[in-house]
Amino acid sequence: MVSIVLVSWKAFSDTALYNKLLFSPYVILRENHWYRFITSAWVHADFMHLFLNMYVLYYFGGFLEMVFVEWFGMVGSAFYLFLFIGSVIIAGMPSYAKHKDNPYYAAIGASGGVSGVLFANILLQPMEYLYFFGVIPIPGLLFGILYMVYSQYMSKKGTDNIGHDAHFWGAIGGMALLIAIKPAVVLGFINQIADELPF
């Protein structure tokens, strides 16, 4: 989080740095700048964009890292970082495939990784309440379903400047990577939902 904040802050006033780090499929393909799949998560459009991503990452990342440390001891933090960066990369893949011949397309922000962390939390605790808009309690599972449906709808609509594809695929990536790291979470997910059923 500290590194993302510092690099983003610097890039707000350093156009050369900003352009060097952002996600540009066209440039990645032609100049072999594969690092941009990762570095694009370290730059943001403005302070609000940065704040929202860091708030969600702080709120959900601490618990997830704690779980990894519980499972794997001192290397647990490395697993957490692996899931975050892996989600960032997975989130960028569909946009890369779609826009690799478009010189005008670019994307920035940690949203793919943040979505991965958020949905890894939902997989671990599907019935825990999340607070929609900070005040409306909603079970994580329901929130996740609504979030994915909304992301898909807005991606197809394409009327705003938000990377809904990255949100959707980052979420998929976070869950897939968590399952790859600890397959037992699938059974835990099913059991938690079954325990809440009235029959």
- pLDDT values of the chain reduced to their tens digit, one per residue, 199 residues: 999 999 999 999 999 999 999 999 999 999 999 999 999 999 999 999 999 999 999 999 999 999 999 999 999 999 999 999 999 999 999 999 999 999 999 999 999 999 999 999 999 999 999 877 667 889 999 999 999 998 888 878 766 667 788 999 999 999 999 999 999 999 999 999 998 877 7
16: its two tokens: 């050369």
- pLDDT value of residue 197: 79
CA distances, 150 to each of 37, 145, 158, 172 (Å): 24, 9, 12, 14
For residue 64, give its domain range: 2-196
How crowded is residue 75: how many other Cβ atoms within 10 Å of its Cβ? 12
- pLDDT value of residue 133: 66
8 A C-beta contact, residue 197 and residue 190: no
pTM, whole model, 2 decimals? 0.92
Residues 6+ apart with CB under 8 A from 120: 64, 83, 174, 175, 177, 178
CATH number assigned to the domain comprising residue 38: 1.20.1540.10
Domain count along the chain: 1
> Would you give the DSSP letter of residue 136?
E
Residues 6+ apart with CB under 8 A from 138: 129, 130, 131, 132, 146
